[in-house]
Amino acid sequence: MQLLVVLSALLALSASHVIPAGSEDDAIPTIPGDNSHYVEGKSRYIWMPDGEGKPVLVDLHEPVDKEFLNTRNGANNAYWLFTRRNPNNAQVIRINQPNTIWGSNYLGSRPLKVIVHGWRNNGNTDMNPLITSAFLAVQDCNVIVVDWRALASAGYGTAADGVPSVGQHLGNFLTWLINTAGGNWNQVHLVGFSLGAHVVGNAGRQTGNRPARITGLDPAGPSWGNNANRLARSNGQYVEGIHTDGHLLGIFNPVGDADFYPNGGKNPQPGCWESTCSHGRAPQFFASSVRTNHFVGRGCNNVWQAELGTCTGASFNMGNGIVSKRGSGLYGLRTGNSWPF
């Protein structure tokens, strides 16, 4: 009897991240929790993390909810300001309401950092305070966290379809903010994770590619491989990509002037056992880099060398918060398996 109980428990555990078998055409297939089944551009189903990092099964063929997009789009963006005077309590700034700026701690003379979350996340998701606190620890700056949960909470396909609108509204907000209360585009750094990486790309494009720096943290891969609205090197003065779950939840191919491939740029990252964890390493690596700037990449001749981690070229640091940072090429490096990596 005890043996039967143990066997039942083991079977339940092994099936915890698996969907019943079937054909992709007429039923939901067996889906391993580590996304080892996934083939870019071919597979229909993939596991993605929600705001708490829990895996959610996504059907990439699910129709876009156009009616939802009519009421939930970039116009619903919320903009939360944090400074050293209010490092933990957000001050909400509303576009075309200048009194919300005058009553805040925003100063146009400070550098401006903007952080954008991904799918099923919101302004309170862990990555936002993690990166915000890192920026404020090393520099007196304005940090704006963009909360676009109204759309990010939709199905993946619908949220992805609405990304350009979210980015365009963000670009318009930043233009209004700087024109109204001061600021310098040469001091603007946009940071986006997953779908948020494509949001900041669209925001940069909307402003005429004026931000000094854009950082894409494992830019979302599914539905974005050949998407004209994805993050691109032309979206800012300097665009950097950090890839941690390439070929699965993240894009593997270069997206910026400089692209970094820590630990080969794909799953499993050190300390991770599945794709959702590796995807989430990108904002963690970035926050750590802002605080200590200790990740040193070596130049790669091509993306395959980056994947193998056999790069031996010139050194260039990954991440950090230096807005005047400039560079180009592909870079590989190794990290530890826990903070600060």
Give the pLDDT confidence of 75-111 residue by residue, as tens digits: 999 999 999 999 999 999 999 999 999 999 999 999 9
pLDDT class of 264 with cuts at 50, 70, 90: very high
Q: Encoding tokens for residue 172?
A: 């318009």
**Structural domain spans, the chain:** 62-333
pTM: 0.91
Rounded CA-CA distance 206/318 in Å is: 26
Question: For residue 261, which of 310, 202, 194, 221 has the smallest C-alpha distance?
Answer: 310
pLDDT class of 51 with cuts at 50, 70, 90: confident
Supply the mean pLDDT for the chain.
Answer: 92
Percentage of the chain exceeding pLDDT 70: 91
State the pLDDT at residue 232.
98
Rounded CA-CA distance 117/240 in Å is: 17
Burial of 282 (0-12, 13-18, 19+ CB in 10 A): buried
Burial of 222 (0-12, 13-18, 19+ CB in 10 A): buried
DSSP characters over 152-181: HTS-HHHHHHTHHHHHHHHHHHHHHHHHHH
Q: Encoding tokens for residue 279?
A: 């995807």
* Residues labelled catalytic: 194, 218, 279
Q: Which CATH superfamily is domain 62-333 in?
A: Alpha/Beta hydrolase fold, catalytic domain (3.40.50.1820)
What residues contact 20, with CB distance under 8 A and at least 6 apart? Answer: 27, 28, 30
State the pLDDT at residue 34.
87
